[in-house]
Amino acid sequence: MTYCVGILLNEGLVMASDSRTNAGVDRVSTFRKMFRFRVDGERVMCLVTAGNLSITQAMVSKLVEDNKNAEAPNLLNAANMFEAAQRVGDAMRAIYDREGAYLKKHNVTFTSSFILGGQIKGEAPRLFRIYEAGNFIEAGDDTTYFQIGETKYGKPILDRVVGPETPLTEAAKCALISFDSTMRSNISVGPPIDFFCYRTDSLTAAFHQRLDEDDPYLAEIRHGWGEGLKAAFNGLRAPDWKF
Amino acid sequence: MTYCVGILLNEGLVMASDSRTNAGVDRVSTFRKMFRFRVDGERVMCLVTAGNLSITQAMVSKLVEDNKNAEAPNLLNAANMFEAAQRVGDAMRAIYDREGAYLKKHNVTFTSSFILGGQIKGEAPRLFRIYEAGNFIEAGDDTTYFQIGETKYGKPILDRVVGPETPLTEAAKCALISFDSTMRSNISVGPPIDFFCYRTDSLTAAFHQRLDEDDPYLAEIRHGWGEGLKAAFNGLRAPDWKF
């Protein structure tokens, strides 16, 4: 399984992905699911992926190859983030055209989903959730985050805490708690966790951090969140029902 | 959708069910999903149901009818809780034999699942998770609770708080928080919430409480838990990443 999240804030973007893959519980591996693209001073993008690894890797390879050809449409010459999302969708469709029928013959479902975030000079940062059909939706003030993969365990804390005004580092903390909840309940989601934090209009740097199993900040969040939940639980009175 | 939970404790049993059903978002209704059976001084049982309402209602109706015939095997003359779970499974199979083929012709999936808890004099309280095929598993010291329906949102708090030693009223509080998390994230799970609390060896009384939308204790838990989570979140430091 996989868990990825992307959050759009006034201050910028926070994106995160786990890196565990499994084909059955006896075939568990580590693969990167976060990919970054940038042209300093002009554009910064981050793509996180979920679904069949052969499909998502093929698609990312296609995007990387396309970027080498400056004459053809690619992520590095897209006029804006909407066009960039379309190009991810187009790459998805190209992979489907090549692979879809063969996978179907072997009853392999063509599953893949993506979150694309980034900023191109001249517009604000934008965030998209791209489906396997190549269509996509965009985050706005009402819905400021997207999740893909194992989304349910980590959703409640995002719903309670994150909004457009949330500071970048607070959103990163919230994303990590969301990962902790997911990893506790689904062993097929696991570290290392890749983090991408981007400050609006910086355009030159995209902060990347990889948190391993034994990362001290991850340990601090795990322990502190567990203690905090227990305190919240103990702070509520039990019902006074008599039986 | 549905959410039900059953918790087995040294002190007894806590079970709870929501009462919202939906066939599409424009056909939302309220139906009871909790059913209790008892013979004072001898046995107390509680059954909660999830799945296709026509199937689960048919099965409960069959159990109720069977209970009227003291000569035939039923829940009121089962020798122990294992046998009672078998009888629920048998009723399930009878419904499948009658309905299964017809539902299949209309592409209706035969979905249903149950949690059965209770105590029969001579043994300790027991808790079973019964599947649509009529087979079942039993809770023990390592896994003290079962959930059916929309299980994911409400699972983390159960995992963190509940064990065999948990007092009855604390487990009831935990179950209600689990419901609150589920109802916040899935609008097809909703009140009234039925609660069944049973104290080991009482055998004569089974406490039942129905919490409506505007129940003061439900409101207290909702508000208090939200505040507690925010406090837990604010109590953790943000990462010191520089970007």
> For residue A172, which residues of chain B lie inside 8 Å, CB to CB?
238-239, 241
**What is the distance between the alpha carbons of residues A130 and A60, in angstroms, rounded to a whole number?**
13
Q: Is A214 on the interface with B (CB under 8 A)?
A: no
* Domains defined for chain A, CATH in brackets: 3-234 (3.60.20.10)
Judged by DSSP in three states, B55 sits in helix
| C-alpha distance from A95 to closest chain B C-alpha (Å) | 32
Report the pLDDT value the prediction gives residue B25, as an integer from 0 to 100: 73
Report the pLDDT value the prediction gives residue B216, as an integer from 0 to 100: 96
Cβ contact (<8 Å) for B173 and A228? no
CB A217 within 8 A of CB A209: no
Question: How confident is the model over B3-15, as pLDDT tens digits?
Answer: 999 999 999 999 9
CB A28 within 8 A of CB A21: yes
For B192, which DSSP code? -
Of A224, A232, A237, the CB nearest to B236: A224
> How much is the pTM?
0.91
Q: Is B225 on the interface with A (CB under 8 A)?
A: yes
> What type of residue is B198?
Y
Q: Taking all residues of chain B, what is their mean pLDDT, rounded to a whole number?
A: 94
C-alpha torsion sign, points B89, B90, B95, B100: positive
Question: How confident is the model over A149-182, as pLDDT tens digits?
Answer: 999 999 999 999 999 999 999 999 999 999 999 9
Report the pLDDT value the prediction gives residue A187, as an integer from 0 to 100: 85
> Around Cβ A160, how many Cβ atoms within 10 Å?
15
CB A91 within 8 A of CB A75: no
Nearest to B12 by CA among B177, B157, B98, B139: B139
pLDDT above 90: residue B188: no
pLDDT above 90: residue A27: no
pLDDT above 90: residue A185: no
pLDDT above 80: residue B185: yes
Of B168, B177, B238, the CB nearest to A170: B238
> For residue A204, which residues of chain B lie inside 8 Å, CB to CB?
none
Cβ contact (<8 Å) for A184 and B156? yes
Of B198, B205, B241, the CB nearest to A169: B241
* Mean pLDDT in residue range A103-128: 96
| C-alpha distance from A56 to closest chain B C-alpha (Å) | 26
Inter-CA distances, A138 with A4, A63, A122, B209, Å: 16, 20, 18, 44
> For residue B230, which residues of chain A lie inside 8 Å, CB to CB?
160-161
**Nearest Cα residue in chain A from B227:** A232
Report the pLDDT value the prediction gives residue B186, as an integer from 0 to 100: 87
Confidence of residue B57 (pLDDT cuts 50, 70, 90): very high
Report the pLDDT value the prediction gives residue B70, as an integer from 0 to 100: 94
Report the pLDDT value the prediction gives residue B27, as an integer from 0 to 100: 79
Q: Is B230 on the interface with A (CB under 8 A)?
A: yes
Judged by DSSP in three states, A185 sits in helix
Confidence of residue B21 (pLDDT cuts 50, 70, 90): confident
Cβ contact (<8 Å) for A174 and B233? yes
Judged by DSSP in three states, A122 sits in coil
And the tokens for A46? 């981050």
How much is the ipTM here? 0.90
**Nearest Cα residue in chain B from A185:** B156
Question: How confident is the model over A113-123, as pLDDT tens digits?
Answer: 999 999 999 99
**What is the distance between the alpha carbons of residues A114 and A33, in angstroms, rounded to a whole number?**
10
Size of interface A-B (CB pairs under 8 A): 136
Question: How confident is the model over A57-89, as pLDDT tens digits?
Answer: 999 999 999 999 999 999 999 999 999 999 999
> Chain A interface, mutation test: which of B195, B233, B237, B240, most A Cβ atoms within 10 Å?
B233
